[in-house]
Amino acid sequence: MSASIGVVDAVVLGIVEGLTEFLPVSSTGHLKITEGILGIDVGDKSVVGFTAVIQVGAIAAVLVYFFKDIARIVGAWFGGLTHKERRAERDYKFAWWVVFATVPIVVVGLAMKPLIDGPLASLWVVAGSLIAGSAVMWYAESSSGGSNRARRRGEAEVTFKDAMWVGSSQILALLFPGFSRSGATISTALIRGLDRVAATRLSFFLSIPALTGAGLYELKDATGGDTSLVALAVGTVVSFVVAYASVAWLLKFVSKHTINGFAVYRIIVAIALMGMLASGYLDA
């Protein structure tokens, strides 16, 4: 196993990151599997840092795609800080909800980092988490809040409690790579009674501070070993381009389809992964 990530490896990992960061299939799980196949040491700090930093490319895609919404929300937040009358605006409140909803994952991430980077980084954990996450996703679609269209709430009806529950659910993906941050957040939002589009958009907004913070925190380790700044830049750019297309596609998909197909796909990947681990093709 090597800690070096070349330009070709960076392109491959950038594509995988961009495709899977916002789809409920687990980008971390797919990246670890891909790194294993490429012969890259998934436990090396520089590799962990590299994958965290190229996530920033995916986040940049969300920032560009939702630029008007984000500019409106940020504008309302700054306006509310200086003008009391603007604090009643929904966008001002929503901005604070995103901040508060990010606190749980930050606290747990810092407190549990040795465990996250150690035993929980195993590919066996990834396989188990893929299956567990699929079960949660299937339940979310079959629950009364997730399956009854008449009872679903739209984006305008998202509450502070919704944001806190959805934001806190990101901890599942943090602790158990393979669970999927987007899978956990979308499923939680569905269980809370939001419609799929509202659930997906909320997942996107809550991903911005969490993934950006993770990328900046890991930046110091991203160029360790033999990984060059060029490889890091290439991986980030590729991630951005592919993620932008993925965001656009996912929003159209969930407006007409359930997320059960992703759950089935995850189980297939988990079974294949367990087979590769059991046969010795991949090192856990």
pLDDT in tens, 163-218: 999 999 999 999 998 899 999 999 999 999 999 999 999 999 998 998 888 777 76
β-pair partners for 153: 194
Has residue 123 been placed in a domain?
yes
Has residue 2 been placed in a domain?
no
**Distance (Å, whole) CA 168 – CA 184:** 9
* Residue 45 pLDDT exceeds 80: no
Contact yes or no for 57/237 (Cβ under 8 A): yes
* Residue 223 pLDDT exceeds 60: no
**Quick one: what percent of the chain has pLDDT higher than 70?**
92
Q: Which pLDDT score, from 0 to 100, does residue 264 have?
A: 96
For residue 222, give both structure tokens.
């991203």
Tell me the three state secondary structure of residue 40: strand
Summarize the confidence of residues 151-161 as an average pLDDT.
90
| Range of lowest pLDDT (13-22, 85-94, 110-119, 168-177) | 110-119
Q: Which pLDDT score, from 0 to 100, does residue 146 have?
A: 44
For the chain, what is the total number of helices (H) and then of strands (E)? 14, 0
Has residue 284 been placed in a domain?
no
**Distance (Å, whole) CA 235 – CA 17:** 9
Q: Categorize the per-residue pLDDT at 3 as very low, low, confident or very high, splitting at 50, 70 and 90.
A: low
Helix axes 229-254, 196-222, angle to 10 degrees: 170
Mean of pLDDT over the chain: 88
Q: Categorize the per-residue pLDDT at 14 as very low, low, confident or very high, splitting at 50, 70 and 90.
A: very high
Has residue 1 been placed in a domain?
no
For residue 223, give both structure tokens.
């160029």
Length of the chain: 284
Residue with tokens 């919404």: 69
Q: Which pLDDT score, from 0 to 100, does residue 166 have?
A: 96
Tell me the three state secondary structure of residue 5: coil
Q: Categorize the per-residue pLDDT at 116 as very low, low, confident or very high, splitting at 50, 70 and 90.
A: confident
Bigger pLDDT: 221 vs 210: 210
Domain count within the chain: 1
Instruction: Please state the pTM of the whole predicted model.
Output: 0.89
**Distance (Å, whole) CA 196 – CA 176:** 24
Q: Categorize the per-residue pLDDT at 255 as very low, low, confident or very high, splitting at 50, 70 and 90.
A: very high
* Residue 16 pLDDT exceeds 90: yes
Give, for 126, the enclosing helix (H) or strand (E). Answer: helix 123-142
Has residue 111 been placed in a domain?
yes
β-pair partners for 194: 153
* Residue 108 pLDDT exceeds 50: yes
Residue type, 72: R
Has residue 183 been placed in a domain?
yes
Residue type, 6: G
Has residue 126 been placed in a domain?
yes
Contact yes or no for 231/10 (Cβ under 8 A): yes
Summarize the confidence of residues 71-76 as an average pLDDT.
95
Q: Which pLDDT score, from 0 to 100, does residue 147 have?
A: 45
Going 149 to 185 to 71 to 14, the CA torsion angle's sign is negative
Q: Categorize the per-residue pLDDT at 63 as very low, low, confident or very high, splitting at 50, 70 and 90.
A: very high
Q: Which pLDDT score, from 0 to 100, does residue 179 have?
A: 92
Tell me the residue range of the domain where 197 lies.
Answer: 7-279
| Range of lowest pLDDT (9-23, 49-63, 183-197, 239-253) | 49-63
Has residue 68 been placed in a domain?
yes
Q: Which pLDDT score, from 0 to 100, does residue 2 have?
A: 57
